[in-house]
Amino acid sequence: MTASSVGTWVVGISIFLMTVTLHEVAHGAVAFVFGDLTAKERGRLTLNPLKHIDWFWTVLFPVMLFVSTGGRFAMGMAKPVPVDFRKLHRPKRDMILVAIAGPLANLVFAGFLLAALHVIPHPVLLLGVYFNLGLCVFNLLPIPPLDGSRVVAGLLPEPFDRGYLGLEPYGFLIVLALYFTGLLYAWLIPGINLLANMLHVPELRL
Protein backbone atom coordinates (compact mmCIF):
# COMPACT_ATOMS: atom_id res chain seq x y z
CA MET A 1 0.00 0.00 0.00
CA THR A 2 1.48 3.33 -1.08
CA ALA A 3 1.62 6.50 0.99
CA SER A 4 -0.95 8.01 -1.36
CA SER A 5 -3.43 5.16 -0.83
CA VAL A 6 -2.89 5.32 2.94
CA GLY A 7 -3.66 9.03 2.83
CA THR A 8 -6.81 8.35 0.82
CA TRP A 9 -8.01 5.80 3.38
CA VAL A 10 -7.29 8.20 6.25
CA VAL A 11 -9.26 10.99 4.57
CA GLY A 12 -12.08 8.61 3.67
CA ILE A 13 -12.41 7.23 7.21
CA SER A 14 -12.25 10.78 8.60
CA ILE A 15 -15.09 11.85 6.30
CA PHE A 16 -17.10 8.79 7.35
CA LEU A 17 -16.64 9.52 11.06
CA MET A 18 -17.43 13.21 10.63
CA THR A 19 -20.53 12.33 8.61
CA VAL A 20 -22.08 10.06 11.22
CA THR A 21 -21.00 12.36 14.06
CA LEU A 22 -22.57 15.46 12.50
CA HIS A 23 -25.77 13.52 11.92
CA GLU A 24 -26.16 12.61 15.60
CA VAL A 25 -24.97 15.94 16.99
CA ALA A 26 -27.56 17.68 14.81
CA HIS A 27 -30.30 15.61 16.46
CA GLY A 28 -29.04 16.45 19.93
CA ALA A 29 -28.53 20.14 19.18
CA VAL A 30 -32.07 20.61 17.85
CA ALA A 31 -33.49 18.66 20.80
CA PHE A 32 -31.51 20.96 23.11
CA VAL A 33 -32.97 24.05 21.41
CA PHE A 34 -36.48 22.70 21.93
CA GLY A 35 -36.06 21.84 25.59
CA ASP A 36 -34.49 18.39 25.93
CA LEU A 37 -31.07 18.49 27.61
CA THR A 38 -30.52 14.71 27.61
CA ALA A 39 -27.84 14.63 24.91
CA LYS A 40 -25.92 17.49 26.53
CA GLU A 41 -26.13 15.92 29.99
CA ARG A 42 -24.74 12.65 28.61
CA GLY A 43 -21.84 14.33 26.83
CA ARG A 44 -23.12 13.65 23.31
CA LEU A 45 -23.13 17.23 22.03
CA THR A 46 -19.53 16.88 20.94
CA LEU A 47 -17.80 16.43 17.60
CA ASN A 48 -15.48 13.82 19.13
CA PRO A 49 -16.36 10.72 17.05
CA LEU A 50 -15.26 8.35 19.83
CA LYS A 51 -18.34 9.44 21.80
CA HIS A 52 -20.62 8.31 18.98
CA ILE A 53 -19.18 5.00 17.72
CA ASP A 54 -21.50 1.98 17.71
CA TRP A 55 -19.66 -1.26 17.02
CA PHE A 56 -22.38 -2.67 14.78
CA TRP A 57 -23.68 0.37 12.87
CA THR A 58 -20.36 2.26 12.69
CA VAL A 59 -18.03 -0.69 12.12
CA LEU A 60 -19.62 -4.05 11.23
CA PHE A 61 -22.56 -2.92 9.07
CA PRO A 62 -20.41 -0.74 6.75
CA VAL A 63 -17.93 -3.60 6.36
CA MET A 64 -20.77 -6.01 5.51
CA LEU A 65 -22.04 -3.72 2.77
CA PHE A 66 -18.54 -2.99 1.49
CA VAL A 67 -17.65 -6.68 1.23
CA SER A 68 -21.01 -7.83 -0.15
CA THR A 69 -20.89 -5.23 -2.95
CA GLY A 70 -17.26 -5.91 -3.86
CA GLY A 71 -16.11 -2.58 -2.48
CA ARG A 72 -18.67 -0.60 -4.49
CA PHE A 73 -20.94 0.52 -1.66
CA ALA A 74 -20.91 1.07 2.10
CA MET A 75 -23.26 2.62 4.61
CA GLY A 76 -23.13 3.14 8.36
CA MET A 77 -24.27 5.28 11.23
CA ALA A 78 -23.28 6.31 14.73
CA LYS A 79 -24.79 5.41 18.09
CA PRO A 80 -28.11 7.28 18.30
CA VAL A 81 -28.09 10.40 20.45
CA PRO A 82 -30.56 10.01 23.35
CA VAL A 83 -33.63 12.22 23.05
CA ASP A 84 -36.47 12.37 25.58
CA PHE A 85 -39.35 13.53 23.41
CA ARG A 86 -41.50 14.17 26.49
CA LYS A 87 -39.21 17.05 27.44
CA LEU A 88 -39.61 18.86 24.13
CA HIS A 89 -41.70 22.03 24.17
CA ARG A 90 -44.19 20.64 21.64
CA PRO A 91 -43.40 16.93 21.45
CA LYS A 92 -45.28 16.04 18.25
CA ARG A 93 -43.97 18.95 16.21
CA ASP A 94 -40.51 19.01 17.75
CA MET A 95 -40.09 15.26 17.22
CA ILE A 96 -40.30 15.90 13.48
CA LEU A 97 -37.79 18.77 13.64
CA VAL A 98 -35.34 16.72 15.70
CA ALA A 99 -35.69 13.81 13.28
CA ILE A 100 -35.06 15.77 10.08
CA ALA A 101 -32.06 17.58 11.60
CA GLY A 102 -29.83 14.54 11.05
CA PRO A 103 -30.55 14.00 7.35
CA LEU A 104 -30.43 17.76 6.80
CA ALA A 105 -26.96 17.87 8.38
CA ASN A 106 -25.85 15.22 5.90
CA LEU A 107 -27.20 17.26 2.99
CA VAL A 108 -25.30 20.32 4.22
CA PHE A 109 -22.08 18.33 4.65
CA ALA A 110 -22.58 16.82 1.19
CA GLY A 111 -22.80 20.37 -0.16
CA PHE A 112 -19.58 21.29 1.64
CA LEU A 113 -17.75 18.28 0.21
CA LEU A 114 -19.15 19.01 -3.24
CA ALA A 115 -17.75 22.54 -3.04
CA ALA A 116 -14.40 21.13 -1.91
CA LEU A 117 -14.51 18.70 -4.83
CA HIS A 118 -14.50 21.61 -7.28
CA VAL A 119 -11.28 22.87 -5.67
CA ILE A 120 -9.63 19.49 -5.05
CA PRO A 121 -11.01 16.98 -7.59
CA HIS A 122 -10.20 13.84 -5.62
CA PRO A 123 -12.40 10.70 -5.82
CA VAL A 124 -12.53 10.34 -2.03
CA LEU A 125 -14.41 13.65 -1.78
CA LEU A 126 -16.94 12.44 -4.34
CA LEU A 127 -17.36 9.24 -2.34
CA GLY A 128 -17.94 11.42 0.72
CA VAL A 129 -20.69 13.30 -1.09
CA TYR A 130 -22.44 10.08 -2.05
CA PHE A 131 -22.00 8.63 1.42
CA ASN A 132 -23.71 11.65 2.96
CA LEU A 133 -26.54 11.40 0.46
CA GLY A 134 -26.81 7.69 1.23
CA LEU A 135 -26.96 8.23 4.98
CA CYS A 136 -29.63 10.88 4.47
CA VAL A 137 -31.78 8.53 2.37
CA PHE A 138 -31.16 5.53 4.65
CA ASN A 139 -32.29 7.39 7.74
CA LEU A 140 -35.47 8.52 6.04
CA LEU A 141 -36.65 4.91 5.93
CA PRO A 142 -39.94 4.87 7.89
CA ILE A 143 -38.74 2.03 10.11
CA PRO A 144 -38.42 2.70 13.86
CA PRO A 145 -36.06 3.94 15.20
CA LEU A 146 -34.78 5.56 11.98
CA ASP A 147 -35.50 9.24 11.44
CA GLY A 148 -38.20 8.66 8.86
CA SER A 149 -40.25 6.83 11.49
CA ARG A 150 -40.07 9.84 13.83
CA VAL A 151 -41.45 12.06 11.09
CA VAL A 152 -44.30 9.62 10.45
CA ALA A 153 -45.01 9.27 14.19
CA GLY A 154 -45.11 13.04 14.55
CA LEU A 155 -47.81 13.18 11.90
CA LEU A 156 -49.89 10.27 13.22
CA PRO A 157 -52.67 10.90 15.75
CA GLU A 158 -52.62 9.17 19.12
CA PRO A 159 -52.64 6.27 19.88
CA PHE A 160 -51.48 5.22 16.41
CA ASP A 161 -48.15 6.97 16.89
CA ARG A 162 -47.33 4.91 19.97
CA GLY A 163 -48.38 1.70 18.26
CA TYR A 164 -46.20 2.52 15.27
CA LEU A 165 -43.15 3.35 17.39
CA GLY A 166 -43.78 0.11 19.28
CA LEU A 167 -42.15 -1.61 16.30
CA GLU A 168 -38.79 -0.16 17.38
CA PRO A 169 -37.49 -3.38 19.02
CA TYR A 170 -37.90 -5.09 15.64
CA GLY A 171 -36.42 -2.30 13.53
CA PHE A 172 -32.98 -3.89 13.43
CA LEU A 173 -34.41 -7.18 12.14
CA ILE A 174 -36.53 -5.36 9.55
CA VAL A 175 -33.48 -3.50 8.22
CA LEU A 176 -31.51 -6.75 8.06
CA ALA A 177 -34.38 -8.40 6.17
CA LEU A 178 -34.43 -5.52 3.69
CA TYR A 179 -30.67 -5.85 3.29
CA PHE A 180 -30.63 -9.60 2.65
CA THR A 181 -33.59 -9.44 0.25
CA GLY A 182 -32.08 -6.57 -1.72
CA LEU A 183 -35.02 -4.28 -0.95
CA LEU A 184 -32.74 -1.92 0.95
CA TYR A 185 -30.99 -1.03 -2.29
CA ALA A 186 -34.38 -0.51 -3.97
CA TRP A 187 -34.88 2.35 -1.49
CA LEU A 188 -31.33 3.66 -1.33
CA ILE A 189 -30.22 3.80 -4.95
CA PRO A 190 -33.18 5.76 -6.40
CA GLY A 191 -33.13 8.14 -3.43
CA ILE A 192 -29.41 8.78 -3.75
CA ASN A 193 -29.70 9.29 -7.50
CA LEU A 194 -32.57 11.75 -7.02
CA LEU A 195 -30.57 13.89 -4.57
CA ALA A 196 -27.43 13.64 -6.70
CA ASN A 197 -29.33 14.91 -9.74
CA MET A 198 -30.87 17.75 -7.74
CA LEU A 199 -27.43 18.84 -6.48
CA HIS A 200 -25.74 18.25 -9.87
CA VAL A 201 -23.27 15.82 -8.31
CA PRO A 202 -20.87 14.23 -10.84
CA GLU A 203 -21.57 10.60 -11.64
CA LEU A 204 -19.75 8.15 -9.42
CA ARG A 205 -17.87 5.53 -11.42
CA LEU A 206 -16.58 2.53 -9.49
Whether residue 19 is contained in a domain is answered as yes
Question: Which DSSP string do the residues of the chain spell out, in sequence order?
Answer: --HHHHHHHHHHHHHHHHHHHHHHHHHHHHHHHTT--HHHHTT-SS--GGGT--IIIIIIHHHHHHHHTTTS------PPPP--GGGSSSHHHHHHHHHHHHHHHHHHHHHHHHHHHHHS--HHHHHHHHHHHHHHHHHTSSSTTSHHHHHHHHHSPTTHHHHHHTTGGGHHHHHHHHHHHTHHHHHHHHHHHHHHHHHTPPPP--
Instruction: Specify the pTM.
Output: 0.90
**Total structural domains within the chain:** 1
Query: Residue 76's pLDDT band (boundaries 50, 70, 90)?
Result: confident
Lowest-confidence pick of 21-25, 73-77, 149-153: 73-77
Whether residue 206 is contained in a domain is answered as no
Whether residue 127 is contained in a domain is answered as yes
Q: Annotated catalytic residue: which of 24, 41, 158, 203?
A: 24
Whether residue 203 is contained in a domain is answered as no
Is 158 in the active site?
Answer: no
Has residue 97 got a pLDDT over 70?
yes
Whether residue 204 is contained in a domain is answered as no
Residues 150-180: tens digit of each pLDDT: 999 999 998 999 999 999 999 989 998 998 8
Dihedral-angle region of residue 81 (phi above 0 means left; psi in -120 to 50 means alpha; beta otherwise): beta
Whether residue 157 is contained in a domain is answered as yes
Q: Name every residue whose Cβ is closer than 8 Å to that of residue 72 and which is 6 or more positions away in sequence.
A: 206
Q: Which domain holds residue 156?
A: 3-198
Whether residue 26 is contained in a domain is answered as yes
Instruction: State the pLDDT at residue 47.
Output: 95
Instruction: State the pLDDT at residue 3.
Output: 67
Has residue 70 got a pLDDT over 90?
no
Q: In terms of Cα–Cα distance, which of 130, 104, 128, 89 is closest to 23?
A: 104
